[in-house]
Structure 1
Amino acid sequence: MNLVSAVYKTSTEQAEKVAYHFGGKDTTYAEFEDSVSRLASALKGLGVEKGDHVAFLLGNTPHFIISLYATMRIGATAIPVNPLYTPDEITYILRNGDVKAVIALDALLPLVEACVQVFPDVHSYVVCETKPDTVEKMQALPQSVKEKVYSFTQLLAKSEPNVKPDEIDDDETAIILYTSGTTGHPKGAMLTHKNLYSNARDISDYLQFNSKDRVITTLPVFHVFALTVVVNAPLLTSAQLIIVPSFSPKEIFRIGREFQPTVFAGVPTMYNFLYQFSEGDPDDLKSLRLAISGGSSMPVALLHNFEEKFKVQVSEGYGLSEASPVTCFNPLDRGRKAGSIGTNIVNVENKVFNEFGEEVPVGEVGELVVKGPNVMKGYYKMPEETAVTIRDGWLYTGDLARMDEEGYFFIVDRKKDMIIVGGFNVYPREVEEVFYSNPGVLEAAVVGIPDPNLGEEVLAYVVLKDKSITVDNLHEFCKKHLVKYKCPKEIILLDEIPKNTTGKILRRNLKDQALSRT
């Protein structure tokens, strides 16, 4: 069994049930299956063969989900790409990923035109119409470009819906996800059909997804967190997706009132915005049975504040692209622990190793390692990096963690983000937690910068909710809660902390900004 055959089975058995809602329109599982089959037929007609790579420059629209399942259905490999990436970033992925076809939003039509000239090996570009003048603009393209550009809508209309799922080996690559990384070019994590199916199945069971669930899909679907938790897992259980093009607190509360959603998944930044939204009525989200947080650690103060205001338990989990992504989650059948990423999900094993590859005692900090059917087959065209990341069957995550006596794991920090002040380890998250415990602070991010005497020093960036608070006030607050070497030497006030499209704080940008001042 794989995702393609499992969702096909759901679509035939639950044909009249709503698969997703988007733009004021419901689409049934039968209609979804019809579109997937038609696009699969169209892709074959364009010359996309088993094993070919198809890149998606798509956001949160049905085009993405239809394209994903159509591509996998014919045995091709999907490469989701953030459509907000710069042309240079997109160019790297298209070239490194040996892409043969591209499916893109119409807003990127100028980029598509440029790519036709740059990438002769890309034989087809499918443009997804979201605006009424898109077809007209496509017709105005130079003839040499038009020969490779096709309309998504027209392809579906002209194709026959008769493509059943191909026979696919479990170990064939279903998706290549390019991880952002901390340095250098992104690496393409190759996830197999077995990886994707096992993780979607196991997290669906763990979180008790069912056919009555209505899942808010506002996390970027090109990111692996959303792909598994709010797309693949719900589709396996014939749940309904409520597709939201982009996150907006106002829109989430409107959806809450109108659709009575049962599941919301977001990153801590989203929870902070929902909590701080002055117009938000907690009653609008009273239908939620489950609130999921991932992507980065949620400050404990925010977690408690959100739960108290909205009367719903927030369950944190953990994952990474290389593990499809989920490895840990706070269980629903017993108490969750604030600040913890939870326990092993079924079929996945997490451990904490020291630098010698040995498991450390309970309570000690080391690197989190993972083993299970969800672990990637490797990085595309990067055997050396693969060998460093996967050793003796264990995936080395690069995250520092500890495990308590009950098997709950706690992320201490990114291994590469740890700050060493005069020989003492300082974990940015620990300092950030102190800032978040101050009711006048909206956001905080901590980085380490070079110091000639101590090796490194702590630098904090803070966004204030209470504008009457001064930097001196914040320094005094830190001194009350932190040992001296953990206290920031400098605190910089910002109007906004830079984040990527998934809401993760861009520490490297902040660090570069700090270093540029010296």
Structure 2
Amino acid sequence: MNLSSKFSLTAKTFQNKPAFIFEGQETSYAQLEGAINQFASGLKELGVKKGDHVGVLLGNTPYFVISLYGVLRAGATVIPINPIYTPDEIGYILNNGDVKTVITLDLLVPLFEKMNAHLPKVESVIVCDTPPTEAKQNVDVTTLSVYSKLKPFTTVLSLGSAIFEGPELADDDTAVILYTSGTTGKPKGAMLTHKNLYSNAIDTGEYLKMNDTDKVVATLPMFHVFCLTVSLNAPLMSGATLLIVPRFTPGEIFKLVKDNEATVFAGVPTMYNFLLQFEGANPDELKSLRLCISGGASMPVALLKGFEQKFKVVISEGYGLSEASPVTCFNPLDRPRKAGSIGTNIVNVENKVVNELGEEVPPNQVGELIVKGPNVMKGYYKMPEETAHTIRDGWLYTGDLARVDEEGYIFIVDRKKDLIIVGGYNVYPREVEEVLYNHEDVVEVAVVGVPDLNFGEGVKCFVVSKKADLTEETLLEYCKEHLAKYKVPSSIEFLNELPKNTTGKILRRALKGQVLQK
């Protein structure tokens, strides 16, 4: 069984039930099943074969859902990409990921025009209409060099048939490649199999007791693994209804939950903070929620308790990572939730804390969190050495320090070394540093995470410059050209020299300590 075949079974059971609601319009399970078949068979007519890689650069729209399941049903591999990435970031993933076909919004066509000469492997760019609420440029596409590659989404649908079986899929076939920021500055592609994604969707749905009466708010980015499993796949496997939200705004969430009597909301701590701080928030507007889910970053206990007290709904905090599809544990729903804990093992997944020798440590002793289960990736794309380092004897080494109490509740003590989490998104300092090192006036740079009231953490840079007149504004504009918005530093401080150890290594922790002491 896999996501595609399971969805077909679910669609037969709940034919007339809404699979999702988008901008007030309902699409039934039967209608979605037909669209998935049409798109999958249309892709086949376009020349997409089993094993081909398809990049998906879309926000939260029905296009994403149809594209995801359509590509899987066609036997190809989905590579979700954040559409707000810069051309450099997108180009690296498309080339490294050997992407043959891209699905994107029409407003991004000018971006592909700029990159066209640097994307020799991309044969087709399937273009979706931008939602009416989004601003878009009026471009005469017939004048573009990329024009011959452009295929309207509706045209691909028209090529297909509402009845389509697709090729046979093996459990170990790669279904999705998720590019996650690497400590070397270049993203790594985590290869998730059909078994990985299906097992995690089913096990997560079972653990959270999702069913066909649920209405799940999908406001997390669908290209992010948290939303992909918790707010999209798990609900659709359960016969639930997705409430698709293009972008998160507190006022819209309150209205959506109230108007649709939503039952499940999943978000990162930043979202909960914005909801809690929203002026005029009426607790009654969230009374239909039976469950709130938090992940992506550790939730401050004060925020968790403040939200639960005000809105009278339990937040179940969990933990996951791209390499584990992503969920490994959640706070249980059938016994007390422990504030500050990421919970206990979900069904079929084992977490344990080990020392440097890989030996499990006693309760409450700190060590590295490792994970084992059918959800663990089969490796990093084209990176065998990284794979061997990360997966040992079937265990995925997360790099996070944790402890487990006597009742099996897991607590994250510290995150991966130097990792910065901005609003639930991972930012690795080396990636930002590499960009700044390319600036002609920068001698040295070090990046650290600093507390941020709105986003949990912010990115702070320390720079040694060749020129005394180099300004923070100049470097910030440079970063905006080469980094996604959430990776851009919140501040840049100039120093005469950076602290180093005896071997010349820059001491990031010393810099972070200086910031926290101020």
Counterpart for residue 214 of structure 2: 213
Kept after mapping to 1: 8 A contact 2:293/2:318: yes
Counterpart for residue 146 of structure 2: 145
Kept after mapping to 1: 8 A contact 2:403/2:410: yes
Kept after mapping to 2: 8 A contact 1:4/1:165: no
Kept after mapping to 2: 8 A contact 1:58/1:103: yes
Kept after mapping to 2: 8 A contact 1:267/1:504: no
Kept after mapping to 2: 8 A contact 1:330/1:341: yes
Structure 2 residue matching 1:147: 3-state secondary structure: helix
Post-superposition Cα deviations, 1:195-232, rounded to whole Å, max 9, x if no partner, equal: 00000000000000000100000000000000000000
Post-superposition Cα deviations, 1:349-377, rounded to whole Å, max 9, x if no partner, equal: 00001112111111011110000000000
- How high is the TM-score relative to the length of structure 2? 0.81
- How high is the TM-score relative to the length of structure 1? 0.81
Kept after mapping to 2: 8 A contact 1:106/1:131: no
Counterpart for residue 97 of structure 2: 97
Q: Work out the CA distance in 2 between the residues paired with 1:136 and 1:267.
A: 32
Cα 1:183–1:282 shift into 2, 3 Å: farther
Cα 1:516–1:235 shift into 2, 3 Å: farther
**Alignment-mate amino acid for residue 263 of structure 1:** V
Structure 1 residue matching 2:417: 3-state secondary structure: helix
Question: Percent same amino acid at aligned positions?
Answer: 61
Alignment of 1:370-389 (within 5 A): 370-389=371-390
Counterpart for residue 21 of structure 1: 21
Counterpart for residue 164 of structure 1: 165
Counterpart for residue 361 of structure 2: 360
Following superposition, the deviation at residue 42 of structure 1 comes to: 1.1
Cα 1:47–1:338 shift into 2, 3 Å: same
Alignment of 1:220-231 (within 5 A): 220-231=221-232
Counterpart for residue 238 of structure 1: 239
Q: Work out the CA distance in 2 between the residues paired with 1:504 and 1:299.
A: 24
Counterpart for residue 344 of structure 1: 345
Post-superposition Cα deviations, 1:404-428, rounded to whole Å, max 9, x if no partner, equal: 000000001113049xxxxxxxxx9
Following superposition, the deviation at residue 517 of structure 1 comes to: 8.8
Q: Say yes or no: does 1:406 pair with 2:407.
A: yes
**Alignment-mate amino acid for residue 290 of structure 2:** R
Structure 2 residue matching 1:59: 3-state secondary structure: coil
**Alignment-mate amino acid for residue 258 of structure 1:** D
Structure 1 residue matching 2:142: 3-state secondary structure: coil
Kept after mapping to 1: 8 A contact 2:37/2:163: yes
Following superposition, the deviation at residue 63 of structure 1 comes to: 0.6
Comparing 137-146 with 279-288, which one deviates more in the overlay? 137-146
Counterpart for residue 468 of structure 1: none
Following superposition, the deviation at residue 117 of structure 1 comes to: 2.8
Counterpart for residue 425 of structure 1: none
Post-superposition Cα deviations, 1:24-50, rounded to whole Å, max 9, x if no partner, equal: 211001111111111111111111100
Counterpart for residue 200 of structure 2: 199
Counterpart for residue 247 of structure 1: 248
Post-superposition Cα deviations, 1:418-442, rounded to whole Å, max 9, x if no partner, equal: 9xxxxxxxxx99xxxxxxxxxxxxx
Cα 1:371–1:511 shift into 2, 3 Å: farther
Q: Say yes or no: does 1:39 pair with 2:39.
A: yes
Structure 2 residue matching 1:31: 3-state secondary structure: helix
**Alignment-mate amino acid for residue 389 of structure 1:** T
Following superposition, the deviation at residue 461 of structure 1 comes to: 3.9
Cα 1:282–1:505 shift into 2, 3 Å: farther
Any unmatched runs of 5+ in structure 1?
A: 419-427, 430-444, 448-455, 465-497
| CA RMSD, Structure 1 to Structure 2 (Å) | 3.0
Kept after mapping to 2: 8 A contact 1:363/1:404: yes
Post-superposition Cα deviations, 1:303-353, rounded to whole Å, max 9, x if no partner, equal: 000000000010000000000000001110101100000000111000001
Counterpart for residue 278 of structure 1: 279
Q: Work out the CA distance in 2 between the residues paired with 1:243 and 1:516.
A: 50
Kept after mapping to 1: 8 A contact 2:84/2:485: no
Post-superposition Cα deviations, 1:441-496, rounded to whole Å, max 9, x if no partner, equal: xxxx9x9xxxxxxxx9x9954549xxxxxxxxxxxxxxxxxxxxxxxxxxxxxxxx
Q: Work out the CA distance in 2 between the residues paired with 1:462 and 1:4.
A: 40
Counterpart for residue 60 of structure 1: 60
Following superposition, the deviation at residue 136 of structure 1 comes to: 11
Post-superposition Cα deviations, 1:174-213, rounded to whole Å, max 9, x if no partner, equal: 0000002344101000000000000000000000000010
Corresponding residue pairs, total: 449
Kept after mapping to 1: 8 A contact 2:418/2:449: no
Counterpart for residue 114 of structure 1: 114
Alignment of 1:294-333 (within 5 A): 294-333=295-334
Following superposition, the deviation at residue 120 of structure 1 comes to: 2.3
Greater relative CO (CA pairs within 8 A, separation 6+): 2
Cα 1:398–1:459 shift into 2, 3 Å: closer
Kept after mapping to 2: 8 A contact 1:38/1:156: yes
Structure 2 residue matching 1:416: 3-state secondary structure: coil
**Alignment-mate amino acid for residue 116 of structure 2:** V
Q: Work out the CA distance in 2 between the residues paired with 1:309 and 1:516.
A: 48
Counterpart for residue 501 of structure 2: none
Q: Work out the CA distance in 1 between the residues paired with 2:290 and 2:123.
A: 46
Counterpart for residue 179 of structure 1: 180
Any unmatched runs of 5+ in structure 2?
A: 422-426, 430-445, 455-478, 499-518
Cα 1:78–1:251 shift into 2, 3 Å: same
